Structure 1
Amino acid sequence: MPLKQPRFLARQSYRRRRMADAARLLPLLGVFLVLLPILWRPAESAEADTAVGGVYLFTVWIVLIVAALFLSRLLSAPHTQDTSGDEEPR
């Protein structure tokens, strides 16, 4: 009877692939968050309300930088494969 291939990927490999997916989606999330202030209603005053928008954009910018740093650190860590045979070759 031939050996059956495991139905699921190894946990380490699965998490690494999901982190890579998150890194790929980060620019799309960034574009959405940067363009979001366009949908805000203007303030009731005649003056442009740029202070809140500026603080929001810089906050989004900092959060995206920290998220990219976090994901890049996790993805650049050496990949250790399980030797138990749970992972099928690519």
Structure 2
Amino acid sequence: MSSPKNASVFLERASYKQRRLTDAARLLPILGMLLWAIPLLWGADEPVQTSNAPALLYVFGVWMALIAVSALIARWLEPGEEPFEAEGKE
């Protein structure tokens, strides 16, 4: 019988990586909302804005970057692995 003193405090490297990638995937929409809100601050100092082209290019650039980052995270996540469900099974 192993005592609680001998139990490892640290997670395995693969499990830790899966958890961090899952956390990153969950925070990605929040990061996207914050980045999309930045163009709202651009016109605050000018009374009349003549062109919205830079803001539109920024929004679509952020959109493309979010798609690329989410694709990378999805590729790195192992399918079928749920690190949060495997905690109590050992």
TM range (shorter): 0.7 to 0.9
Shift of 1:35: 1.1
- The DSSP-based 3-state class of the residue aligned with 2:63 is helix
Name the % identity: 38
- The aligned runs of 1:31-70 (5 Å cut-off) are 31-41=33-43, 46-70=48-72
Question: What is the TM-score when the length of structure 2 is the normalising length?
Answer: 0.76
User: Matches of 2:21 and 2:40 in 1, distance apart?
Assistant: 30
The one of the two structures with greater contact order (alpha-carbon pairs below 8 A, sep at least 6) is 1
Question: What are the superposed Cα offsets for residues 5-28 of structure 1, whole Å, 9 maximum, x if unpaired?
Answer: 101000110011000000000000
Q: What's the C-alpha RMSD, in Å, of the aligned pairs?
A: 2.5
Question: Does the Cα contact within 8 Å between 1:42 and 1:49 map onto a contact in 2?
Answer: no
Q: Which consecutive residues of structure 2, in runs of 5 or more, have no partner in the other structure? A: none
- The DSSP-based 3-state class of the residue aligned with 1:6 is coil
* Runs of 4+ off more than 2 Å: 41-49, 76-79
Q: Which consecutive residues of structure 1, in runs of 5 or more, have no partner in the other structure? A: 80-87
